[in-house]
Structures are given as C-alpha cells and as structure tokens.
Chains A and B, each alone.
Chain A
C-alpha cells in the first residue's frame, strides 16, 4: 500500500520566543509517503529530532479535521499552504514531490506575537468577540425555538458566515494585517438573524472599536483573506460589517463613532537565513 517514498527539504522558521530573533533552519525529511498529511510529515521529523536529543519544531494542531482552527502556518508564502480553502492539517504530501524545498513560517501580524517557532498568540480575536460577538439572553428565558421563523436563505447566509473557525489566516494573508473578515463574519452572522437584531448597532460599534484598538489594520480590498479562508467566507462579510457600521452611525440613536483609522500593521520579515 505504500506508494513511492520521497524526500524534501523543509526550511522552518525557528524562534525561541517573542523577544528573540528568529531564523530559518533547514531539515531534510526522508521517507515521505504521499498519503501522509503535512502535519504528520512534521510529526515524523519531530520524532527523529527528539530521538537525536534535538529540539523538535513547535507548532500547534488539535482536531486535525480542519474544524478547530488551531493549526495554521504559512507554507511557501500561503497561509495554510497551497490547497485552496483548506487548513494546513488537511494538506497532504501528495501535493509535493522529490527534492522540493518547502518553507514554513508562522502567521505574521503585529497583533499575533510569536510565541515560539510556528506558534503565535491569536488571543486578540477572543477580545473582539468579548466586545459584542454574542446575543444577550439568559439560560431558561428563551421562547419556543419555532416562535420566530427565519427564511431559509437568510438562515443559510447567517450560517455561511458562522462557519468561521477563527484560525487567523485572513489576518496573516492581509498586507495590512486586518481582522476584518473575522470580525465581519461574526457581525454578519448575528446581523442576518432576527435574534441578533436588538443589539446590532451596539455590537458593530463596540467590536470595530476593540478590533481597531488591538492594532489590526484596515481593509484595502486586496481580497487575500477571501482567497485563503478555509471556510470560504466571502468579503461580503466586510461589506455587511461596513453597512452595519453606517447604519449604526447614521440611522441609530447610538453615539456616532469614527471609522477604523487606516494603518498598516505588518511586521518586518527577514529575507533569508
């Protein structure tokens, strides 16, 4: 059952912690089977490194089914790798061939400080949710679930945006490190549902304010986020967020708020090792 084994050279970003300087280190990985996942290939390499008493490559993954959003790094310049709309845990080695040199590095954004090697701190995303990414309803107080009908198309649209796994690839792909696809997806999900209506103006104003304060950049219509999103979330999320923002500012009774200030938020990346 084993198809042709092959080997590649893996160039990996190594960085001890947020304050240390990082560098690329190359590893030769042999005996790769096409059916292996990319992460399993690193597992095999790490086992070998541990055996040799060397430090393994630090990376994160959990479900390895593309749903938990835990894994994520940049493969040859692409967040989550060359496959379209996929997480890196779903990338398989059949995509590569003998002799390939593959470069992997962490998601880079000012708001995602590097913790170690390929691991970054994405907790800023949770702060955005805490600013209003919810509907305020207490346990036990809800009416019967069928009291408010939601037409199927609207429910499907809400679901399209709700599928965001919060992996942060959109931020990593954006030249401005914007978190607008993530934030927009959450706002759109709740704005389309009738249950989300009572808090919709407050929600969009608060979430944008916090998003901005965390150092994420603004959208300049690059569409990179949509291209890499593992859950195929469309930039319509950002348009919806902007419409919600306008609505909140001009048509609601909320205190008007300035739109996000434009700033780029990238970090310096060294050219080579």
Chain B
C-alpha cells in the first residue's frame, strides 16, 4: 500500500501557505551549491523551476527531449493565463479564483493546493511583466484582460493568441540567465528512460542521448519531473508529436502513485480532421468563444451553405442550454454538447463531425478590424489548414483530446510517493480535479516552477539525510541494463507493423471507447483490445536502423509505454463509475443528460500503484475533504 499523506499544513486555508513557508526548513545560501537537482522537461514548469532554483544557488541540470528548451509544448498555449488581480474591479479575488477552479474541476481537486495556486497567481503576473513578457495592454498603458470559459469575469491576461509562447520564452530567458551564471546546465536531445531510486529516495535518472543512442546516467539529490501530459495516448490530440508518458510511466514503475489517469480533457474548439493521414489536431483558442457563437442547423442533415441558413433555422445550442454562461461554458460541457448535436445527426461539414463557430454577428457589431486584431493569427491558421475563410463563413470545429488533469500523485510539497521525486505542471494531478479551466494550465506551470518548488524543495533538502550516490552505483547499473535490454528486445521482434500503425490503432481504441462518452461496456471492450494490441506489438513490431540516432526507435519506445499506460487509464475509467468533469460515464447522468457526480462514493483521488509486470495495479485512495467549499452540483445554466 502507498502511504498517501497529503501533508496539508494546519490552520485556516488563507494562512496555510504562509505558515508552511514559515515552518519550512531552509538551506543556507552557502550550502545550496552542494545540492544537485535534476529537472526533466523545459516547458513552463521545468524552465521556471530551473530559473528559480538557479537563482537561489542550487546546482541544476535540466533535460529536454528537444533540440532546444524553446520547443517545449507550453509554447502552443494560445489564450491566456488567469490571475486574481481584480484589475477590472469586477468582483475577483483569490477566493473567487479558488472557487471557480475547484468548481470547474468538479470538486475532485485538493482544496489547499488550489487555494495556494490562486494565491500565487498575482505574483506570477508581476514576475512575468518584470521579465519582459509583452502582455496585451489598454491605451492607458495598463494590462488588458479577457474572459475565459467557466468564469463570469475578466481575469485572463494574454499576449495576442500566443500567450504560452511568450510565457515560455520568458521562463526560458530566465533560465538562460542562470545558464550564463553557471547555475543551470541544459542537456538537449535527451529522453528520460528511467528513474534511479537508491535507499528509497529518487537519486538520479538514465537518459537516452537521442543523437548517439547512448544511455547516460546523472545523479542528484532530487529529481523534478515536468514532462507534461499524456493526451497522445489518443494518437490524435492537440499535443505536439514528442509529448509522451514515458518519463512519468518509468516513475510509476519505480513506485510513484499515478492519480486519476482517466481525467482527460477534450477541448471543444479544434479544427476537424481531414483524412486518414492526419497526424495531429490543431487547437484554436477558447478565447474565440468570447466573440464566436456556436451553432448547428435545427434540422438534421441540413447540407446548405451555412450562410444560407436563416436565423430561425439555426440552433445556438450553448446559449439555449446554458443561458448564464452561454458560449463560455467550461470545456467539458461545451465538448459534450457538441457531441450531443453530432449524435443527433446535426453535425456539419463533409464528415458531419463538426459544429459551426460563427463570427458574423460580432463582425457586424465590432467591425472586421477589431475581430482581426483580436484573433487574426487564429483565422490565418484556420485558413492555412482548411483553405476556408473564417471571416466570410463560419469556422467548423470539433472536440479533440487536449489536456490531462490526471498525473503522478503529489502531496502539498509537490512530492510524489517516492521521496525526492517531485512532479510539477501538467505531469502532476493536483490542481485541476476532473476538468481544467481555460488559462489555468499556464498559471499552474509557472506557480509550481517559480513559486512553489522554490519553497518546498529546500525544505526536503534541508530535512533529509542523504547517503552517497554515484553514477557507478549498482542502482544505476541495474537501471541502465534494464533499459538497454528493453531496447534490444524491440529490435529482436522483426515484425511487420510500424510503431505509428500501433499508435494509430491504440488511439482509435481509446477515442472510441474512452473518449467523450465512456460506459462499462465500452471500457470492458477496450480492456480486452488494448492488451491484445500490446501483445501484437511485442510480436510484430517493425523497426529499421540501429541503436544510434533513430526516430523510428524513439517512436517505438513511446508507443510501448502508451500501450502499457492505456490499460491503467481504462481501468481507472472503469473504476470511477460516476461522471465528473471530463470523465463522462454514460451510466451516470441526470435526466437532462448532464454529468452526475457521486460524492458519496467517489470524492477521492484514485491513486494506482504498480504491482509488477503482468500484475493488476493496486488502488489506493486519498479522501478529499471540502472544508471551505461544499461540493454542489455544477450548474452553468
């Protein structure tokens, strides 16, 4: 059994973080250099952690799968970052951001963590502005904000449709400053293959140098994982090609609990797929729902040009079903509503798997220039991909896997069930419950990296007695040997199917059976299909090339991990019989078809523990208690 102590500080929720910081043990500035810290991943969480820990004087080694830290997928986030600044005086506060985030997550997140996130949100904006992030501004020179889904006020700061890019380049520049100071060393084109645990503590990693194929070992006093999410288990998702679950999965196999893997988010506004060759789905920012109206024809199979469909034959279904929030309902609700329309046969476009997002009315009201100024780059992107002009006729959108709320279990310190292994950003599970609100991922990544880990890691380092650990230790040997033999195994198969074919097949199984609607029947079916696909992989994988630089091998390793991980995701989805947030069990819905939560039986985090090869993962539970916000039925009507 895992020991799941969330280590939430005592005291009132408003004081917990301050009292934590006061009680935390500190490391003397002169001693910090003696501590080596490994960070895996250079996205918002990883890069900002490298910056803050480098500034403090720790000896940081940071690893990225890409050729430069600038490629991390945080860069693709478009819409914005939330903060409870209340610059607009529209009723915002730390407490309201806390409330919106917890409610948006359908009461499946940990109160104390979410409150802390809301608390540091303001400081994130301050720091980002000071580091040169060019946020959008009003004519008076002060910062502009806009609305996002799940909130009735304007707390989202943004830099055109490229907020993630600007924040990542900001965090990257702060990290590069530490590189120039000699506090941070970057290792590019390295993929983490295994976590090394010695004397019960995380003490290092084994990585594969992607250019040479060599396995390399690195030892440290703590390992910080910031490797993002696992949406690519669905094959087609909004994630970048390199995003994978491998690093997190290797930690799981070394004893880190995996929490709520079934909490995955389907984003409602993506460009629909165009054919079998499709390699990824492109997201278009949720901010488009500020001014775009979502609709389908009232009549089934209406194939007319959308501009020829008169007003009274259009169904603006989000405005009809959820008048209070309208087009700005949270993502899970918008996605499900779209699915409902499509299931009713009212989907549009050549495949019938799309709904309209229409700017006609707002172009009329605000003028074309204003809309172009706000969303120009998104319209351009839509045009490049679809060859259609979104200003002249409505865009077609369809939901796609996007973000994963589930991840490695962490306590209030962001430490996993393995001492010394910390998990930040999307890779952990803690802040978004069963559904993440728009513009909250960037907030969490930077909160974890800039503000949380810089206080919690020193506490661990200062209060732990460290044994010697060197890369020649037997633990490192064993780890490297097992990684090597697993790679050799892949080469020995000599089958006929490419890694990509397996990935595509896995994605189909997952999307069909564990996508927007999940049922016992479908999940049980998938739980048969996935293991048999995995068996086929083990017997029929085709590889080319050698163990050196080999992109086919890289893909094969990632698909191998997804094939194992997918089963855990399905198992968790089957276990969680309730519907909540992005996890919609068809058996658990209200008479109106909305998600029906079951607080009595499922107000807990499901934390899965690795039990060994070919053994069933074991379930552990962290009970969620709600002292400050009583769970209520989430209503956006």
Contacts and interface: CB of A to CB of B under 8 A. Distances in A.
Given A50-B542, A129-B176, A136-B177, A65 B137 contact: no
A65 B73 CA distance: 11
A50 B552 contact: yes
Contacts of A21: none
- Residue of B70, B275, B282 ringed by the most chain A CB atoms within 10 A: B70
A122 to B, nearest CB: 7
A68 interface: yes
Contacts of A64: 240-241, 279-280, 282
A193 B132 contact: yes
A133 interface: yes
A122 B68 contact: yes
B357 to A, nearest CB: 17
B76 A67 contact: yes
Contact of B552 (A56, A61, A83): A56
Contacts of B162: 67, 163
Interface stretch (B261-269, B381-389, B510-518): B381-389
A246 interface: no
Interface in A33-79: 33, 35-37, 39-41, 43-44, 47, 49-51, 53-56, 58, 60-70
A139 B179 CA distance: 16
Contacts of B140: 149
Interface stretch (A86-94, A221-229, A236-244, A257-265): A86-94
B529 interface: no
Nearest to A90: B384
A63 B73 contact: yes
Interface stretch (A7-15, A100-108, A151-159, A248-256): A151-159
B136 A155 contact: yes
A155 B66 contact: no
A40 B278 contact: yes
B138 interface: yes
B159 A63 contact: no
- Residue of B127, B274, B454 ringed by the most chain A CB atoms within 10 A: B274
Interface in A122-137: 122-123, 125-126, 129-137
Contacts, number: 218
Interface string A189-211: 11001011000000000000000
A145 B282 contact: no
B71 interface: yes
B545 to A, nearest CB: 6
B125 interface: yes
Contacts of B67: 60, 70, 121-123
A58 B551 contact: yes
Given A139-B52, A159-B159, A47 B130 contact: no
Nearest to B542: A50
A267 interface: no
Interface residues of A, number: 77
Given A62-B71, A62-B73, A145-B126, A90 B132 contact: no
Contacts of A159: 134, 136, 159-160, 166
Interface string A143-168: 11110011110010011001101100
A214 interface: no
A270 interface: no
Interface string B74-114: 01100000000101000000000000000000000000000
A271 interface: no
B55 A139 contact: yes
B305 interface: no
- Residue of A2, A122, A137 ringed by the most chain B CB atoms within 10 A: A137
A138 interface: yes
B282 A65 contact: yes
B173 interface: yes
B544 A145 contact: no
B218 interface: no
Given A37-B279, A40-B277, A151-B141, A67 B130 contact: no
A269 interface: no
Contacts of A126: 68-70, 176, 186
A240 to B, nearest CB: 15
Given A61-B241, A123-B68, A125-B68, A68 B76 contact: yes
B545 A90 contact: no
A58 B186 CA distance: 24
Interface in B19-66: 51-52, 55, 66
Contacts of A33: 274-275, 277
Given A36-B277, A67-B162, A195-B131, A155 B451 contact: no
A56 B551 contact: yes
Contacts of A196: 132
B387 A150 contact: no
B123 interface: yes
- Residue of B71, B125, B172, B450 ringed by the most chain A CB atoms within 10 A: B71
Given A64-B282, A67-B75, A145-B125, A56 B241 contact: no
Interface string B127-160: 1111110111111111100000000000000011
Contact of A158 (B134, B385, B545): B134
Interface in A108-126: 115-116, 121-123, 125-126
Nearest to B496: A51
A41 B279 CA distance: 10
B176 A133 contact: yes
Nearest to B271: A65
Contact of A134 (B52, B173, B450): B173
A66 B55 CA distance: 32
A62 B242 contact: yes
A195 B498 contact: no
A66 B196 CA distance: 36
Given A53-B544, A123-B67, 19 more contacts: A33-B274, A40-B278, A50-B544, A51-B496, A55-B545, A56-B551, A60-B67, A64-B282, A65-B381, A68-B71, A122-B68, A126-B186, A131-B180, A134-B176, A140-B123, A145-B125, A158-B134, A159-B166, A163-B160
Q: Across chains A and B, which 5 residue pairs bring their CB atoms closest together, nearest first?
A: A149-B141, A142-B130, A134-B173, A35-B274, A142-B126
6 contacts: A92-B384, A134-B173, A134-B174, A138-B55, A142-B127, A152-B139
